[in-house]
Amino acid sequence: MLKCIFNWSGGKDSSLALYHCLQNPDLDIKYLVTTINDAVDRISMHGVRVELLIQQAEGIGIPLYQIRLPEMPDMKTYDNAMRRHLEHFKSEGITHSIFGDIFLEDLKKYRDDRLAEVGMTGIYPLWKRDTTELINEFLTLGFGTVIACTQQHLEYLVGKEITPGLIMSLPADVDVCGENGEFHTFAFKGPIFKKEIKYKLGEKVFKEYKTPENTNDVCASDPGKKLSGFWYQDLILA
């Protein structure tokens, strides 16, 4: 049996990947690992409150491990922090790290390279699967998810729950799973949870992240994505 950590973002891809991992008797998941923006006490990139994250972890029944980071760490700060935590996991006998990535090759290479530095290996349950197939499976299984943040031009989607109708209405250049960073979600119900998490909509806020002069710079909380403007829908525990 492989001792693993699961990189938990709180969204739909994490949820579906975890669903499949929980069906695999060869995987022993010790922690749900989530990076937190320590300045605002929210999930990095997604902007979801930590209290909602805690509800998810309690509903899943796997211990939550929070990695606290400054609001906009540079890559060196991010990499050093992650390495310390990975070394801690390795010292506990954990050998594998699970991700919900689907098709971003550069991001997968980044993750695999960092894991290799401490002698760990990545597992990608959803890798190279068709994203339309994935979102349809997600909904068919009875999962529910709400869009917590979007790129600037997709403001009209923020705060909406994903349904078959919404998927059908997306522009042709938007991936139905948001795999290119178009949107991020919060999963509030589904077969991995003991009960549905009740939430209500709070304030909607736009945050602009200026593109750095060095175009190789990326958002350290989600390596592989260029900085840009995002709409955030505050989700409040009901």
**Following DSSP, what letter does each residue of 144-174 receive, concatenated?**
EEEEEEEEGGGGGGTTPBP-HHHHHHS-TTS
Please report the pLDDT score of residue 148 as a whole number. Answer: 98
Range of the domain at 118: 2-123
Give pLDDT < 70 ranges for the chain: 210-228
Closest CA to 205 of 136, 160, 149, 163: 149
Q: Kindly state the DSSP code that residue 65 receives in the 8-state scheme.
A: E
Domain boundary among 90, 123, 156: 123
Please report the pLDDT score of residue 62 as a whole number. Answer: 98
Domain boundary among 95, 123, 151: 123
Nearest-angstrom CA–CA distance, 132 and 155: 22
**How far out from the chain centre does Cα 236 lie?**
18
Q: How far is CA 135 from CA 17, 21, 90, 144, 158, in A?
A: 12, 17, 33, 11, 17
Structural domain contains residue 66: yes
Please report the pLDDT score of residue 209 as a whole number. Answer: 76
